[in-house]
């Protein structure tokens, strides 16, 4: 029997051929080129990610006399001998079967001898975590005092079982799971070399089942090639891996979405009749729902993972809300935990199917909310108004037309805003024209700096008075004044942005445009005497020497102009 498995036939022989571990490959090549090879390395990571392959390539690169940019030539006698596993200076030891202290002591005795043919004697110890404690201690002694021209490469899938004292004496490289796209690319390259026709969807199925292991992917591909007759199809790989076909998952989830319990159970029965395992069924359905959720927010990412997407899948991702998908994943995961200790796996699948088809977390939340809140319709109307504001802002339209004002005034959800008179008067007592002018100049820039929601809230407003700590902002509509007065996030954003623009961050005191003239007149009337006797000029902050020489009416008019600006003052 001369046939050799694909994972051995297409084993990487150069650093550049290593799939999914680019950083590690570059680091090791540079170490060889710079003559900085360490005496001990620790390769950790999941199975089938290239740990022993990289170790063999590194051993060839250390001993090759015809290096090409840090890569072994793979043509000299030394490289060929290492590739064919017949160079006695490069030893690969399986720690699972040689885990005793005696084996490591024998290793310690042979390490002190110089290499026979190669420049470096390389010891590759696979699954090093299987060594016993005494064996680890014996190995530690070797690593503490390594002989010249000896390199240890330790490989493990369970680094937490390796003694910290061993780890601290090695250069550690963490091999990551290989991405689905990288696996598919490599499988495609192999099939093209073998001149075998294939469907790309089939390769995505293999890559997902392999779970980041290239060796597992090649083993599955080897099996699928033997199974297929002419072209490697998606159905072939589904059959080989025991995975659910896209059609099966689509029909099952569609029945669940329709809340059709009978149809859901029939689809489940069909799936089980075809010999699908309960464990694989639950895994596939969890991943399917995960992809539904991700497709709502990152469609391109899911397309790269799953390959071609069906129309049913796309429709379900739109129709199902996130809360429902969360519930489905939770129920499926619970069933996955329960079947581990049970022989009646099909019963649990039937039970979870009924739960899925009869549960709706989102509907339950909405129903409860409707029962507990009598003002739902009013809140919906207000939400609709705000949504229209944002939509019209994006279109560049006038969002506050006269018709909208009439509709708001006649709406059932109308609410009168209570202006904070005391706060407004407090601001006006120390307000200056300088502060107000500064704010008006930067107001358009402020609106442009806000996000869509905040911009919609501030669009129908303008500053009408200000001092260095507060500003009075007049709103066109009561409903927006109410919402803005309660929106602490909005206030904070406005303060922060103003602080960046003009160097001070006044708090918002909100008033309605309809009430502002009345409040302004009332303030002037109530504070007439105080304005006359005040010793501080509101514009220049200069103390006046003699207010008695001022004409009474002219003084009040000047004060009003300084406070509100000449455009806002009309003398009658």
Question: Could you tell me whether strands 461-466 and 470-475 are parallel, antiparallel, or unpaired per DSSP bridges?
Answer: antiparallel
Residue 368 vs residues 365, 373, 378: alpha-carbon distances, Å:
5, 9, 17
pLDDT, one tens digit per residue, over 145-201 is 888 889 999 999 999 999 999 999 999 999 999 988 899 999 999 999 989 888 888
How does DSSP assign 272-308, residue by residue?
HHTT--HHHHHHHHHHHHHHHHHHHH-HHHHHHHH-S
Question: Which run of H or of E encompasses 485?
Answer: helix 478-486
In terms of Cα–Cα distance, which of 410, 355, 20, 358 is closest to 186?
Answer: 20
Report the alpha-carbon distance of residue 419 to residue 511 in Å, rounded.
5
In this structure, are residues 465 and 427 in contact, taking their beta carbons and an 8 Å threshold? yes
Straight-line distance from the first to the last Cα atom of the chain, in angstroms, rounded to the nearest whole number = 112
pLDDT, one tens digit per residue, over 234-253 is 888 887 887 777 888 889 99
Please list the residues that pair with 232 across neighbouring strands: 198
The CATH architecture assigned to 246-360 reads Up-down Bundle (1.20)
Same fold, 180-241 and 246-360: no
Please list the residues that pair with 244 across neighbouring strands: none
3-class DSSP state for residue 134? Answer: helix
Rounded (to 5) percent helix, strand, coil in the chain: 60, 10, 30
How does DSSP assign 416-463, residue by residue?
-----HHHHHHHHHT--HHHHHHHHHHHHHHHHHS-HHHHHHHTTEEE
Report the alpha-carbon distance of residue 298 to residue 325 in Å, rounded.
15
User: From the CB of residue 387, how many other CB atoms can be counted at a distance below 10 Å?
Assistant: 11
In this structure, are residues 569 and 560 in contact, taking their beta carbons and an 8 Å threshold? yes
Report the alpha-carbon distance of residue 154 to residue 123 in Å, rounded.
8
Residue 56 vs residues 33, 148, 244: alpha-carbon distances, Å:
17, 20, 38
In this structure, are residues 389 and 399 in contact, taking their beta carbons and an 8 Å threshold? yes
What is the model's pLDDT at position 506? Answer: 87
Q: CATH number for 180-241: choose from 1.10.3720.10, 3.40.190.10, 3.10.450.50, 1.10.8.60.
A: 1.10.8.60
Report the alpha-carbon distance of residue 366 to residue 362 in Å, rounded.
6
Q: CATH number for 421-568: choose from 2.40.50.1020, 3.40.50.2000, 3.30.300.180, 3.20.20.210.
A: 3.30.300.180
User: From the CB of residue 487, how many other CB atoms can be counted at a distance below 10 Å?
Assistant: 17
In this structure, are residues 70 and 32 in contact, taking their beta carbons and an 8 Å threshold? yes
Please list the residues that pair with 40 across neighbouring strands: 152
Report the alpha-carbon distance of residue 534 to residue 139 in Å, rounded.
90
Please list the residues that pair with 125 across neighbouring strands: 93, 154
3-class DSSP state for residue 547? Answer: helix
Report the alpha-carbon distance of residue 511 to residue 464 in Å, rounded.
9
Burial of 4 (0-12, 13-18, 19+ CB in 10 A): exposed
pLDDT digit of tens for each residue in the chain (572 aa)? 567 788 888 888 999 999 989 999 999 999 999 988 899 999 999 999 999 999 999 999 999 989 888 899 989 999 999 998 888 889 888 888 877 788 888 888 888 888 888 889 999 999 999 988 888 888 888 888 888 889 999 999 999 999 999 999 999 999 999 988 899 999 999 999 989 888 888 888 888 888 889 999 999 998 888 888 788 888 888 878 877 778 888 899 999 998 899 999 999 998 888 888 888 888 889 988 988 888 888 877 777 666 667 888 888 888 888 888 999 999 999 998 888 877 888 888 999 999 998 875 444 444 444 454 544 555 666 666 676 666 666 555 444 444 444 444 444 344 577 888 888 888 888 888 888 888 888 888 888 888 877 888 888 888 888 888 889 999 888 888 888 888 888 888 888 888 888 888 888 888 888 888 888 888 888 777 665 555 444 433 333 333 333 444 566 777 777 767 766 777 76
Residue 291 vs residues 260, 321, 384: alpha-carbon distances, Å:
22, 13, 31
Report the alpha-carbon distance of residue 186 to residue 179 in Å, rounded.
11
What is the model's pLDDT at position 390? Answer: 65
Q: Where are the domains of the chain?
A: 6-174, 180-241, 246-360, 377-410, 421-568
Phi, psi of 496 (to 5 degrees): -60, -45
Report the alpha-carbon distance of residue 183 to residue 278 in Å, rounded.
26
Residue 329 sits at the vertex; the CA angle it makes with 326 and 335, to the nearest 5 degrees, is 140
In terms of Cα–Cα distance, which of 539, 527, 531, 488 is closest to 510?
Answer: 488
In this structure, are residues 89 and 119 in contact, taking their beta carbons and an 8 Å threshold? no
pLDDT, one tens digit per residue, over 12-26 is 899 999 998 999 999
pLDDT, one tens digit per residue, over 333-359 is 999 888 887 788 888 899 999 999 887
3-class DSSP state for residue 475? Answer: strand
CA 186 to chain centre: 27
What is the model's pLDDT at position 407? Answer: 46
In CATH terms, is domain 6-174 a member of 3.40.50.2000?
no
Burial of 92 (0-12, 13-18, 19+ CB in 10 A): middle
Question: Could you tell me whether strands 231-232 and 197-198 are parallel, antiparallel, or unpaired per DSSP bridges?
Answer: parallel
Report the alpha-carbon distance of residue 128 to residue 161 in Å, rounded.
9
Report the alpha-carbon distance of residue 493 to residue 449 in Å, rounded.
10
Report the alpha-carbon distance of residue 51 to residue 361 in Å, rounded.
45
3-class DSSP state for residue 172? Answer: strand
């Amino acid at each position: 029997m001369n046939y050799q498995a694909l994972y051995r036939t297409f084993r990487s022989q150069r650093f550049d051929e290593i799939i999914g571990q680019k950083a590690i490959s570059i680091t090791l090549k540079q170490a060889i080129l710079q003559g900085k090879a360490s005496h001990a390395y620790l390769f950790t990571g999941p199975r089938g990610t290239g740990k022993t392959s990289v170790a063999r390539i590194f051993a060839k690169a250390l001993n090759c006399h015809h290096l090409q940019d840090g890569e072994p030539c793979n043509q000299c006698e030394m490289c060929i001998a290492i590739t064919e596993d017949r160079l006695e200076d490069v030893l690969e030891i399986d720690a699972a079967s040689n885990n005793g202290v005696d084996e490591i002591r024998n290793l310690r005795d042979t390490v002190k001898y110089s290499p026979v043919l190669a420049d470096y004697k390389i010891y590759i110890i696979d699954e090093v975590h299987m060594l016993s404690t005494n064996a680890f201690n014996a190995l530690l002694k070797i690593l503490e005092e390594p002989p010249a021209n000896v390199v240890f490469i330790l490989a493990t899938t369970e680094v937490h079982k390796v003694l910290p004292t061993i780890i601290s004496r090695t250069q550690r490289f963490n091999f990551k799971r290989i991405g689905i796209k990288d696996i598919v690319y490599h499988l495609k390259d192999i099939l093209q070399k073998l001149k075998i026709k294939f469907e790309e969807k089939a390769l995505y199925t293999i890559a997902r089942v392999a779970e980041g292991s290239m060796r597992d992917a090649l083993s599955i591909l080897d099996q699928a090639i033997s199974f297929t007759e002419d072209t490697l199809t998606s159905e072939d790989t589904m059959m080989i891996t025991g995975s659910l076909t896209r059609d099966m998952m689509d029909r099952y989830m569609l029945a669940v979405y329709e809340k059709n319990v009978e149809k859901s159970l029939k689809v489940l029965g069909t799936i089980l009749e075809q010999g699908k395992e309960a464990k694989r069924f639950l895994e596939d359905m969890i991943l399917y729902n995960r992809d539904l959720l991700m497709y709502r927010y990152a469609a391109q990412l899911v397309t790269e993972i799953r390959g071609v997407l069906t129309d049913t899948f796309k429709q379900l991702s739109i129709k199902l809300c996130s809360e429902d998908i969360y519930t489905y994943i939770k129920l499926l995961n619970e069933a996955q935990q329960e079947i581990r200790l049970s022989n009646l796996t099909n019963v649990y699948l039937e039970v979870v199917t009924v739960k899925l088809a009869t549960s709706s977390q989102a509907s339950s939340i909405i129903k409860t909310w409707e029962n507990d809140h009598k003002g739902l319709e009013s809140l919906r109307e207000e939400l609709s108004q705000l949504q229209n504001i944002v939509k019209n802002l994006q279109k560049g339209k006038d969002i506050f037309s006269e018709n909208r004002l009439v509709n708001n005034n006649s709406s059932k959800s109308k609410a009168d805003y209570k202006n904070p008179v005391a706060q407004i008067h407090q601001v006006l007592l120390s307000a200056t024209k300088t502060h107000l002018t500064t704010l008006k100049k930067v107001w358009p820039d402020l609106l442009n700096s806000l996000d869509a929601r905040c911009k919609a809230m501030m669009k129908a407003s303008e500053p009408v008075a200000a001092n260095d700590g507060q500003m009075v902002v007049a709103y066109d509509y009561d409903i927006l004044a109410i919402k803005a007065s309660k929106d602490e996030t909005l206030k904070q954003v406005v303060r922060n942005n103003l602080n960046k623009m003009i160097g001070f961050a006044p708090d918002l005191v909100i008033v309605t445009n309809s009430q502002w003239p009345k409040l302004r007149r009332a303030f002037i009337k109530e504070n007439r005497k105080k304005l006359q006797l005040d010793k501080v000029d509101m514009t220049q902050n200069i103390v006046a020497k003699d207010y008695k020489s001022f004409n009474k009416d002219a003084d009040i008019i000047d004060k009003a102009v300084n406070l509100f600006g000449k455009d806002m003052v009309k003398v009658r």
